[in-house]
């Protein structure tokens, strides 16, 4: 396993900009956009289910 040494700014950016729906789906943080592609994108469906 690789251990990353991230600074506070990078961790903050990941938490506030790259996690949640965007982090799970890899598509968008907007649930409306995920609903549009849910049928064809398993990761979008998984993000919405969570």
Write out 2-35 in H/E/C secondary structure.
CCCCCCHHHHHHHHHHCCHHHHHHCCCCCHHHHH
The residue with greater pLDDT, 2 or 13, is 13
Predicted confidence at residue 3, as pLDDT, reads: 66
Residue with tokens 């849910």: 38
Write the pLDDT tens digit of every residue in 9-37.
Answer: 988 888 888 889 999 999 999 999 999 99
| Alpha carbon distance 18, 23 (integer Å) | 5
């Amino acid at each position: 396993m690789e251990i990353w040494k991230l600074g506070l700014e990078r961790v903050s950016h990941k938490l506030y900009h790259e996690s949640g729906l965007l982090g799970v789906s890899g598509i968008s943080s907007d649930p409306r956009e995920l609903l549009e592609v849910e049928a064809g994108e398993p990761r979008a469906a998984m993000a919405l289910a969570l």
